[in-house]
A and B are shown apart, each in its own frame.
Chain A
Amino acid sequence: MMKPTALRTAALAAAVAGLLTGCGSEEPASGPRPLSETAPPVIEGYADLVYRTYGEAAGEAASLNASLGAFVAEPSQTRFDVAREQWLLARNPYGLTEAFRFYGGPIDDDDGPEGQINAWPMDEAYVDYVASDANAGIINDPATYPMIDEATIASLNEKDGEKNISTGYHAIEFLLWGQDMNADGPGQRPFTDYVVDTGTAANQARRGQYLTAAGKLLVQDISAVASEWAPDGGAYRATFVALPPEEALRRILLGIGSLSGAELAGERMQVAYDTKEQEDEHSCFSDNTHMDFLQNARGIQNVYLGKRGQVDGPGLDDLVRERDPALDARLQAEMQASIEAIEAIGKPFDQKILGDDTALGRIQVKKAIDALRKQTATIVEVATLLGISLNIEE
C-alpha cells in the first residue's frame, strides 16, 4: 500500500510537473478519460445492482415468510423441512448484499435495519427455551408479553442492546433448527414444538406467533432497504448518484474492501479459526456458514465486475482496465481465487476449524483467509489508482 506521505510526494511531483509544463496544457489523447466522464455509468450500474440484489433478497424472504405461515398454520415434518429449505435459499441473495454495507448506506446508517435483519450472536434464552431452562424466553413468558407480533419484537429490539431481542435471519434460524448442541450436524428442534397443545415444549402457539412475526419483520426490513435504492423515487439512490464521483466510488470500494478484509477474512473466518469455537459462526444453528462466506465473496466480485447473473453492466473493472490493465487482471484473478479457496473448504465450517494447524480443514480455511486479505490489499491499490484514499484493515 502506498503510504500517505508517498501519496503526497506523488501529488507534489505531479504539481511540480504541472508547473513545469504549464497549467492548462493539453492532456495527451491516449490517457484515461477523467472519472467525471467515465464513472457515472459505473455508479448508476452499481445502484442498479444494489436495487436488484436487495429485491431478490426481499423476494426470497417473502417466500420464506409464506412457508413459515404455511408451517405454523398446519405443522408437519414436511412443511418444517420446506421452511428450513426456504430459509437456506433466502440466505443466498442476502449474502450478496453484504457487499453494500460499511459506508453508512440505508442498510447500516445510524438507524439502518442491519442489526435487526442479521444480528448475531443471539440471546437464545431471551427468545425461547434452552437446554438448561425449559421456561426461558419471551415465548414462555405470556404474563410479560401477552401479544407477540412484529411490533412487539421490533420494539424490544432497542438501541444500545438494552433489550436486544433477537430478530432477523438468525432468530428465525434458531426457531427452525434450535440450539446446535451436537458436534456433527445442525440443531435438532422437532417440528412438534409448534403443534399446539399436544406437541413438545410449552407455548407452541406463541412460538408460532414469534416465528411468523420474525418472518414478516424480515420482509418489511429488507423491502424498506430495497426501496431506498429504487430507480424512481429511491431517496438514497438519488443522493448517491448525485455525489461527486470520487465519493460514490469511495463508498463502493469501502463496502467491498471492508467486507473482504475486516468482516469476511477477519470477523467471520479468522476469529473462528483463532478461537476454534464450534459455534463462533454466524449461521451456527443450520450449519450454513460455508454458503454465507461464498455469497459474500461472490457479492464482492459482482460489485467489481458490475455483474449480476448474466447481466454484465459497467463496473469498477472498466475504470481500472483503462488505467492499469495488469492491476485489473490481477484483482479479477484474486477474486476468482478467493471464491475457489472458499469453495474448497467444504462444509460444515464448524468442523473445518478444529484440530491443529496441519489439519486439512484448517489449512484450507487459512488459505481462504489469505486469499481474501490479498484481494483486500489490491482493492486498496485500485482506490489509490483512482485517486481515492481508502483506510481499511487488510
Chain B
Amino acid sequence: MRWLVFPFVIGFLGCGAEPPPGEAGPSAEPGEELSGGETTVFDTSKNAYSLSARNMTPERRSAFFVGNSFFKENWVIAPASTEGRDGLGPLFNARSCSSCHLLDGRGSPPLDTADPLVSVLIRLSVPGADAHGGPAPEPTYGGQLQPRAIPGVLPEGDAFVTYEEMPGAFPDGETYSLRKPVYSMASARGDMQPDVMTSPRVAPAMIGLGLLEAIPEEDLLRAEDPDDTDGDGISGRANRVWDAVRGATSFGRFGWKANQPTLVQQTAGAFLGDMGLTTPMFPAEDCTDVQADCKAAPTGGVPEVSPEILDRVTFYSATLAVPARRDVDDPVVLAGKRLFLEIGCGKCHTPLLRTGTLEGYPELSGQTIRPFTDLLLHDMGEALADGRPDFEADGREWRTPPLWGLGLQEAVNGHENLLHDGRARGFVEAVLWHGGEAESSREAFRALPAEDRGALVRFLESL
C-alpha cells in the first residue's frame, strides 16, 4: 500500500492532510477520538461505560443519579417497606437491570451447561403474528423464557448451551476455530408448542443509546437499499415495528433485530419481560392464560414502576457517555481503519453520523458521532440465522450493531464475547461469523495478510 505524503504541515501537531470525516487518510481526522461527540468520556477503567454524558449540566445530572439508582439496585418482592422498589416478578430473568448489563456493559453467554443463564435471554414465539404484526407468543410460556420466579410461583424452566467447535483456516494457513452454540431447553410447565421458535439474546452495552435515538430517521432511511439497486451486494432495510406510544407502526431502532422503536419502549419492555415489573406503558403482568399461579401472585401496585421512575431510567439509558477512542493516530490503527473501509465493513457499520434535535436532550442534539452502525437490517447468512422472524425482520436478518466502545469491553466486562448470542470469542471470530450480505467482506478479510488482519483488529480495539 502506497502512502500519500503531503508536503505541507497543518497546525502545530499536524503531520499530514486531514482526511474528510469518516474516511481513511494518513492521519487521524480532527476529533476522531470523540466517538460520542461532546458526550464523550475519556476513561479506560471498569467504569468506562458507566459515566454520564460529559456535556451534561449538573442540574440535569440529578435525573441521571436517580435513573442510575433504579438501574443498579435490586427490585424486591412485594410487599416491602420500600414501596417504590417492590413488585419483582412473578416470573423474571433478573432482579435488576445491571445484573445483565453489568457495569452498563454487555452480557455473556453461559460457558457450558453448568453455567447459569443470567445475562442472556431466550426469546420465544410460534408461527404467525400478534395483533400488531410482532412475534406470536408461545401459548404457555409467552415471549421469553423466564427461569426465575418469586416464592409460590413455578419458574418457567431453564436453557442450557453446549458448543461445537468448528475448525477453519485462513488462506495463509493460520488456523482458527469457531464455536457454534447449541441450546437445549428444560421447560418446567409442560412441553412447548412443537413449532416453537427460539432465539438467544445477549444483553447489549448501554452506551450512546440516546445518540442513536437522536439520528434523524430520514438520514437512516436514505441508506436503505432493499433491492440492492446499486448492486454492491448490500441491501439494508428498516424494520417496521409496533410503537405503543403512537399506537402505530414506527421505524425499529433498538434491539438485535431492531424490534423496538424508542428507548422508552425498550426500557418498559425490559422492565416487564426481564424483571416482571409493570409500567404505565405495559400495565399488565406478563403471565400467560395458563399460568394461574403467576396471575394470582401479589403485585407491587399498578403500575409497579411509576411514570417518574420509567422516565428517569430511560433518561439514564439515553445519557450514558460513549468512551473516547485510544490511539487514533497510531499508524497501525490508521492502516486498520483504511482496511476496514476498503473491504466494505463501513457499508453497514457507518463510521460517521450526525444527530438531529432530540426533544428534551440538548446534550445529545446536533452531535457528530461515530457509532459504526446504520441501524438497518441485513441478511447475515445461514450460519448466524436464528430462524425467528421479528416484525419485518426475517430469520436471517440482524440489525447492524454499533461498534463504538467495543475495545473497552474486556476492561469493563472481563470478556470479549460478541454477536447476538455471545458466540464469538473476540473480534476475529465475530468477523468470521459474518455471512450473507457480509460474505464478500468476510472473504476479503480472510484473504488479507496476517499483518493486515492484525491491523484491522487493532483498529477495532481502538474503538
CA distance A391 to B118 in the complex (A): 29
B68 close to A266 (CB less than 8 A) = yes
Q: With A121-B85, A262-B68, A279-B84 given, is the CB distance from A393 to B51 under 8 Å?
A: yes
CA distance A325 to B328 in the complex (A): 38
Whether A236 sits at the interface, judged by CB under 8 Å, is: no
B94 close to A161 (CB less than 8 A) = yes
Contact partner, B77, options A104, A126, A275, Cβ 8 Å: A126
Residues on B with C-beta less than 8 A from A123 are 76-77, 80, 88
Q: With A270-B65, A393-B52 given, is the CB distance from A279 to B58 under 8 Å?
A: no
Of B42-50, B179-187, B226-234, the stretch lying at the interface with chain A is B42-50
A88, chain B: closest CB distance, angstroms: 18
Name A277-336 residues within 8 Å CB distance of B: 277-280, 284-285
Residues on B with C-beta less than 8 A from A116 are none
A380, chain B: closest CB distance, angstroms: 12
Whether B253 sits at the interface, judged by CB under 8 Å, is: no
> Across the two chains, which residue of chain B brings its CB closest to A277?
B84
> Across the two chains, which residue of chain B brings its CB closest to A373?
B58
B82 close to A279 (CB less than 8 A) = yes
B300, chain A: closest CB distance, angstroms: 11
Whether A122 sits at the interface, judged by CB under 8 Å, is: yes
Whether A267 sits at the interface, judged by CB under 8 Å, is: yes
A267 close to B69 (CB less than 8 A) = yes
Q: With A121-B73, A125-B77 given, is the CB distance from A161 to B66 under 8 Å?
A: no
Whether B74 sits at the interface, judged by CB under 8 Å, is: yes
> Across the two chains, which residue of chain B brings its CB closest to A130?
B79
Whether A164 sits at the interface, judged by CB under 8 Å, is: yes
A125 close to B52 (CB less than 8 A) = no
CA distance A278 to B99 in the complex (A): 26
Whether B95 sits at the interface, judged by CB under 8 Å, is: yes
Residues on B with C-beta less than 8 A from A275 are 66, 84, 306, 308-309
Whether A235 sits at the interface, judged by CB under 8 Å, is: no
B83 close to A279 (CB less than 8 A) = yes
Q: Which of A123, A179, A181 neighbours the largest number of chain B CB atoms within 10 Å of its CB? A: A123
Whether A26 sits at the interface, judged by CB under 8 Å, is: no
Residues on B with C-beta less than 8 A from A394 are 58, 61
Contact partner, A121, options B43, B74, B298, Cβ 8 Å: B74
B114, chain A: closest CB distance, angstroms: 14
Residues on B with C-beta less than 8 A from A267 are 65, 68-69
Whether B62 sits at the interface, judged by CB under 8 Å, is: yes
Whether A37 sits at the interface, judged by CB under 8 Å, is: no
Residues on B with C-beta less than 8 A from A284 are 81-82
CA distance A364 to B61 in the complex (A): 19
Whether A223 sits at the interface, judged by CB under 8 Å, is: no
CA distance A392 to B94 in the complex (A): 27
Flag B291-325 by CB within 8 Å of A: 1 or 0 each. 00000001000000010110010000000000010
Q: Which of A125, A126, A394 neighbours the largest number of chain B CB atoms within 10 Å of its CB? A: A125
B42 close to A391 (CB less than 8 A) = yes
Residues on A with C-beta less than 8 A from B458 are none
Residues on B with C-beta less than 8 A from A265 are 65
Chain A: residues with Cβ within 8 Å of the partner, total of 43
B46 close to A391 (CB less than 8 A) = no
Q: With A104-B46, A164-B95 given, is the CB distance from A121 to B82 under 8 Å?
A: yes
Whether A132 sits at the interface, judged by CB under 8 Å, is: yes
Name B17-42 residues within 8 Å CB distance of A: 41-42
Whether B168 sits at the interface, judged by CB under 8 Å, is: no
CA distance A125 to B297 in the complex (A): 13
A280 close to B84 (CB less than 8 A) = yes
Residues on A with C-beta less than 8 A from B52 are 393
Flag B411-436 by CB within 8 Å of A: 1 or 0 each. 00000000000000000000000000
B76 close to A280 (CB less than 8 A) = no
CA distance A265 to B86 in the complex (A): 23
Q: Which of B46, B65, B69, B78 neighbours the largest number of chain A CB atoms within 10 Å of its CB? A: B65
B192, chain A: closest CB distance, angstroms: 23
Whether A136 sits at the interface, judged by CB under 8 Å, is: yes
Q: With A121-B80, A275-B309 given, is the CB distance from A266 to B69 under 8 Å?
A: yes
Residues of chain A having any CB pair with chain B under 8 Å: 4, 104, 119-126, 130-133, 136, 160-162, 164, 179-181, 187, 262, 265-267, 270-271, 274-275, 277-280, 284-285, 373, 389, 391-394
26 residue pairs of the A-B complex, CB under 8 angstroms, read: A119-B74, A125-B80, A126-B151, A131-B79, A136-B151, A161-B94, A161-B99, A162-B118, A164-B95, A179-B80, A180-B81, A181-B81, A187-B81, A262-B68, A266-B65, A267-B69, A270-B66, A271-B65, A274-B308, A275-B308, A280-B85, A284-B81, A285-B81, A391-B51, A393-B64, A394-B58
Q: Besides the contacts A161-B94, A162-B148, A394-B61, what 11 more A-B pairs have beta carbons closer than 8 Å? A: A4-B42, A124-B80, A132-B298, A161-B95, A275-B309, A277-B84, A279-B81, A279-B84, A284-B82, A391-B51, A394-B58
